[in-house]
Amino acid sequence: MGQDAKKQNALEKCKSYAEIYRNVTNPVVESIIEKYLEGVPIDGDKIKNLNGYLKDIMAWKTNQIDHFCTTKEKGIAYKDKKNISFQKLESIVYDYKANYKDEDYKNLFKKLVKVKGIGNVYAITIIFFLSHGEYPIYDKFADVGLYSMMTGDEEVPLRIMTDRGFDGAWSYYLEYRDALTSLFGDRWKGKDGRFVDKGLWAYGHTVKSITCKQSDGNRFYHFYKKGDDHEK
């Protein structure tokens, strides 16, 4: 399959599988979450209701939202409170600035992963929202789905980001971001790009994955490095 056909096929597949995601979530929850993604609630130069903002995001990511009890009138209802040090988390995110660059986000990531209850994936979730989706959300199922779409393989190795340490995890995350761009252009970014992460997440659940040891080599790089023909 040529690259143009592969990219179009990936887009259509994500749109299709995003419908599966939509059918298993509360639309009120998604509406609230996407409002957060559209714009960080900043009052002056500081985030407004930072505690509630972070708790909603973490509850959404960790499946701690009670979708049945969440309504437009009442807002988000929690199943349980995850064991996260929100006071520490607030103190780190409080100084966030809208003009952050790669190095700023890397430093923020390094601080976030030191907070009790916040690992690599949860730290990336916070960065996803703070950046308005300019930095992608990450999930192991989306990773598997993306790898399968790029290679055409129906059985792919599952690599867990948590085993990589700080520098390895951040490098891998940027590699994942570049791979997204190579296949989808900028279509994955922002609120309008949610169909990509939803589709990859849903599709990734259908792909057979094999847990393997971590490798020092890059997972995606050889599929998108400049000048290569990626056809299988």
Neighbours of 155 (CB within 10 A): 10
Predicted pLDDT of residue 220: 61
Q: 49-85: per-residue pLDDT in tens?
A: 777 888 889 989 988 888 888 887 778 888 876 678 8
Please tell me the distance from the alpha carbon of residue 230 to that of residue 232, in angstroms, as a whole number. Answer: 6
Confidence band of 145 (pLDDT split at 50, 70, 90): very high
Confidence band of 230 (pLDDT split at 50, 70, 90): very low
Q: 101-125: per-residue pLDDT in tens?
A: 889 999 999 999 999 889 899 999 9
- Please provide the average confidence, as pLDDT, over all residues in the chain: 82
Q: Are 80 and 64 in contact (CB under 8 A)?
A: yes
In this model, does residue 229 exceed pLDDT 60? no
In this model, does residue 29 exceed pLDDT 50? yes
Element (DSSP H or E) covering residue 211: strand 208-211
Average pLDDT over residues 5-14: 93
Q: 121-141: per-residue pLDDT in tens?
A: 999 999 999 898 999 999 889
Predicted pLDDT of residue 216: 41
Element (DSSP H or E) covering residue 31: helix 27-38
Predicted pLDDT of residue 164: 62
In this model, does residue 228 exceed pLDDT 80? no
Q: 146-170: per-residue pLDDT in tens?
A: 999 988 888 887 766 655 678 888 9
Q: At what angle do helices 120-130 and 50-61 cross, to 10 degrees?
A: 130
Tokens of 173: 């995350």
Tell me the percentage of the chain whose pLDDT exceeds 90.
33
Predicted pLDDT of residue 222: 47
Q: 180-217: per-residue pLDDT in tens?
A: 999 999 999 999 999 999 999 999 999 887 665 554 44
For the chain, what is the radius of gyration of the CA atoms? 18
Predicted pLDDT of residue 217: 47
Q: Which residues contact 91 (CB under 8 A, 6 or more apart)?
A: none
Predicted pLDDT of residue 72: 78
Name the residue type at position 223: F
Q: Are 94 and 50 in contact (CB under 8 A)?
A: yes
Q: Are 166 and 111 in contact (CB under 8 A)?
A: no
- C-beta contacts of 136-142 below 8 A and 24+ residues apart: 136/176, 136/177, 136/180, 136/188, 136/189, 136/197, 137/197, 138/173, 138/176, 139/197, 139/200, 139/201, 139/204, 140/204, 141/200, 141/201, 141/202, 141/204, 141/205, 142/197, 142/200, 142/201, 142/204
